[in-house]
Amino acid sequence: MSDQSRDTIESLSHEDRTFPPPAEFAARAQIQEAEYRRLLALAETDYERFWAEQAQAELQWIQPFTRTLNDREAPHYQWFEDGLLNVSVNCIDRHLPDRANKPAIIFEGEPGDTRRLTYAELLHEVVRFANALRGRGIKKGDRVVLYMPMVPEAVIAMQACARIGAIHSVVFGGFSGDSLRDRINDAEASAVVTADGGFRSGRVIELKAVCDRIIGDCPSVHTVFVLKRAGNPVTWSPARDIWWHEAVAGAGADCPPVAVGAEHPLFLLYTSGSTGRPKGIQHSSAGYLLGTILTMRWVFDIRPDDVFWCTADVGWITGHSYVAYGPLAAGATLLMYEGAPMVPDPGRYWQICERHKVSVFYTAPTAIRALKKQGDDYPARYDLSSLRLLGSVGEPINPEAWMWYHTHIGHGRCPIVDTWWQTETGAHMIAPIPGVSTLKPGSCGRALPGIMADIVDNKGDPVGAANTGGFLVIKRPWPFMLRTVWRNPQRYIDTYWKEFDGRYYVSGDGAKRDADGYFWIMGRVDDVLKVSGHRLGTMEIESALVAHSRVAEAAVVGRPDELTGEAICAFVVVRGTRPSGPDAEALTQDLRQWVSEHIGPIAKPAVIRYTDNLPKTRSGKIMRRLLRAVAAGEPITQDVSTLENPDIIRQLQGD
């Protein structure tokens, strides 16, 4: 956390509307008041027993564990370490006795094609692809990178890795070739699974072509599996590339699951932090899976007849926990949609809800705001009576968007679970229990049973008083927490545990708690941006900018944005004279394209401003708080007397 960001925690405006659980919902909810109290009390009195009981009840073990928590190498905690299990068995095989013919996945492609896979069919597909992986020599512990569209095969490939103990690392299909290459190389992946292309916003996203451009710089990769999805032409390297359909055609229909230790890494997922390159967040097998199952039940109240739709891409943690693993582990029917929400028009999401009778719907505030902006008519055209519960994730949801979601999508009938969590936490941490909790628009409620969340000041002391802002921390390890940063244990310690001398897991978020104990998240206190709910480090964007031949220095900050939550604002110092007029316009175009190629279109700056130098403190640190105020068009209240060139402020303001 930078010094300048320590004092950025401000109080949100006061919101006092409350929504108790509707009586009908509460009466049928899986977690009722008494059970909720029991869970909270057990976690308080006997923390390890609490988690041991959950892990025994919810997971199918090949060999039961005898030790619950090992903290000898804290903060490298281990959970259930001597247990053995297989994650794909827990997600698929164990449902076969009573749910073989139940749909596991209902898929709708952007062009409108649909597919259904029952649990029995899903197992068949997973086993065949697992054998295809084995056929190419991939074994337990090997890394497999996925660069896929949102199609069932993405989930099949993840589950197939889990079946043989290979470690997957999914790279969001919107990331550029450079980002893909860096992740493949950091993970030293043996294989990549991609597709010819996927459909998104009416276009074909050519994934294989992106792969081809960088794969020559990825010496560890010997095989690229290519799913035929969009039918676009691809170039081929016969020694390395193999079509998915050909690889599974000859594969056996039996693949005994590989037993792995509870702590065996299930996956790596690269995410942005405030410094350095994206880091490979490493998750475990048993603890991680436990978090996804429990929260499917506690927070999503999942039931056998639910159709559960989480709109997140599998390239993000939400698409891991609530697309690829949680819904299947809970035995639910999962809906997957390939494309964009506005195709062919902004009614698409609601049409899908009607068509497939979605009952639990989980999305991001940025999508809610964008759809709200399109007007109330779109949702009004569709029968949304199958919906019974709504969810929100990824950034704070503003009360106006919450109210619209509640009124126009939930028709006042569906509770909204606003779920706070992170790539690192694995599953929900602070969230309502929908049959029990009274909701407050804009608050994510209380911490879940067993999650010891608190708010501390900059010395690490709990702030105690209600409505006082501070740093959101977790005081005890929990089973679904990240285990480390891939091949960089020191970075794990430095990023998450150093701030308060190893006493707490530091989330990087600022928050306050009101008099009822409800958490209100106030956003990141480090240099991480949330743009449309996507997590980006300012540092990454700055390094992409300075890699351009005309750029000498760059500083990137977030600016509040009505739709995307935050928008990227870059202040750039060029080599030579500060550009203006058509030259500045052309360079801006060029730089936006440049960032898009280096990171991905999601990282394109919304605004680029040119300046002769960046405002710095005497010690040479960029005054980010000042830049944030400038970007937001706010009056400058900071002390600027130390600025070398005070005129710079006007330049920064874009005059």
CB of 552 to ligand WTA, least distance (A): 31
Question: Is 393 an interacting residue with respect to ligand WTA (CB under 6 A)?
Answer: yes
CB of 270 or CB of 571, closer to ligand WTA: 270
Tokens 């030259």 correspond to what residue?
583
Q: Residue 270 belongs to what H/E stretch?
A: strand 267-271
CB of 351 to ligand WTA, least distance (A): 26
Question: Judged by CB under 6 A, which of 419, 495, 538, 588 binds ligand WTA?
Answer: 419
CB of 257 to ligand WTA, least distance (A): 28
Of 80-88, 248-256, 389-397, 489-497, which segment contacts ligand WTA by CB under 6 A? 389-397
For 60, the token pair is 């199918």
HEC profile for 427-487? CCCECCCCCCCCECCCCCECECCCCCEEEECCCCCECCCCCCCEEEEECCCCCCCCCEECC
Torsion, CA 390, CA 406, CA 431, CA 494, rounded to 10:
90
CB of 289 to ligand WTA, least distance (A): 17
For 2, the token pair is 């930078």
Q: Within 10 A of 343 (CB to CB), how many other CB atoms are there?
A: 17
Look up residue 595 and give its amino acid: V
For 536, the token pair is 């980006």
Question: Judged by CB under 6 A, which of 86, 507, 564, 651 binds ligand WTA?
Answer: 507
CB of 509 to ligand WTA, least distance (A): 5
Question: Judged by CB under 6 A, which of 125, 418, 527, 566 binds ligand WTA?
Answer: 418
CB of 143 to ligand WTA, least distance (A): 20
CB of 332 to ligand WTA, least distance (A): 19
Q: What is the largest CA-CA distance in the chain?
A: 74
Provide the 3-class DSSP secondary structure of residue 500. coil
Q: Residue 187 belongs to what H/E stretch?
A: helix 177-187
CB of 318 to ligand WTA, least distance (A): 5
CB of 597 to ligand WTA, least distance (A): 23
Q: Using CA atoms, how far apart are residues 607 and 560, in angstroms rounded to an integer?
A: 12
CB of 353 to ligand WTA, least distance (A): 21
Closest residue to ligand WTA in the complex (CB): 423
Q: Within 10 A of 42 (CB to CB), how many other CB atoms are there?
A: 17
Dihedral over Cα of 443, 390, 368, 323: its sign? positive
Q: Which positions from 236 to 275 touch ligand WTA by CB under 6 A, shown as an x/- string? A: -----------------------------------x----
Provide the 3-class DSSP secondary structure of residue 626. helix
Question: Judged by CB under 6 A, which of 198, 278, 394, 615 binds ligand WTA?
Answer: 394
Question: Is 444 an interacting residue with respect to ligand WTA (CB under 6 A)?
Answer: yes
As beta bridge partners, residue 103 has: 118
Of 190-198, 283-291, 412-420, 445-453, which segment contacts ligand WTA by CB under 6 A? 412-420
CB of 279 or CB of 535, closer to ligand WTA: 535
CB of 322 to ligand WTA, least distance (A): 9
* Cα of 294 vs its chain's centroid, Å: 18
CB of 4 or CB of 271, closer to ligand WTA: 271
Q: Which of 72, 103, 29 is nearest to 433 (CA)?
A: 29
CB of 131 or CB of 398, closer to ligand WTA: 398
Q: Using CA atoms, how far apart are residues 127 and 187, in angstroms rounded to an integer?
A: 24
Q: Which of 435, 432, 437, 441 is nearest to 407 (CA)?
A: 441
CB of 442 or CB of 615, closer to ligand WTA: 442
- Give exposure, 597-630, as e/b (b: 16+ Cβ within 10 Å): ebbbebbbbbebbbbebbbbeeeeebbbbbbbbb
Question: Judged by CB under 6 A, which of 350, 420, 492, 496 binds ligand WTA?
Answer: 420
How many positions of this chain bind ligand WTA (CB under 6 A)? 23
Question: Is 318 an interacting residue with respect to ligand WTA (CB under 6 A)?
Answer: yes
Half-sphere exposure of 547 (CA within 13 A, CB side): 15
- Give exposure, 414-444, as e/b (b: 16+ Cβ within 10 Å): bbbbbbbbbbbbbbbbbbbbbbbbebbbbbb
Q: Using CA atoms, how far apart are residues 202 and 198, in angstroms rounded to an integer?
A: 10
CB of 257 or CB of 394, closer to ligand WTA: 394
Look up residue 302 and give its amino acid: I
For 262, the token pair is 């509870």
Question: Is 443 an interacting residue with respect to ligand WTA (CB under 6 A)?
Answer: no
CB of 533 to ligand WTA, least distance (A): 7
CB of 3 to ligand WTA, least distance (A): 20
Of 72-80, 182-190, 312-320, 601-609, which segment contacts ligand WTA by CB under 6 A? 312-320
Provide the 3-class DSSP secondary structure of residue 413. coil
User: Could you tell me which residues come within 8 angstroms of residue 400 by beta carbon, excluding any fewer than 6 positions away?
Assistant: none
Question: Is 317 an interacting residue with respect to ligand WTA (CB under 6 A)?
Answer: yes
Q: Which positions from 515 to 544 touch ligand WTA by CB under 6 A, shown as an x/- string? A: ------x-xx-----x----x---------
Question: Is 395 an interacting residue with respect to ligand WTA (CB under 6 A)?
Answer: yes
Of 195-203, 260-268, 316-324, 580-588, which segment contacts ligand WTA by CB under 6 A? 316-324
Question: Is 508 an interacting residue with respect to ligand WTA (CB under 6 A)?
Answer: yes
For 491, the token pair is 């970075």
448-467 binders of ligand WTA (CB under 6 A):
none
Question: Is 421 an interacting residue with respect to ligand WTA (CB under 6 A)?
Answer: yes
Question: Judged by CB under 6 A, which of 176, 423, 532, 564 binds ligand WTA?
Answer: 423
Contacts to ligand WTA by CB under 6 A:
271, 316-318, 393-396, 418-423, 444, 507-509, 521, 523-524, 530, 535
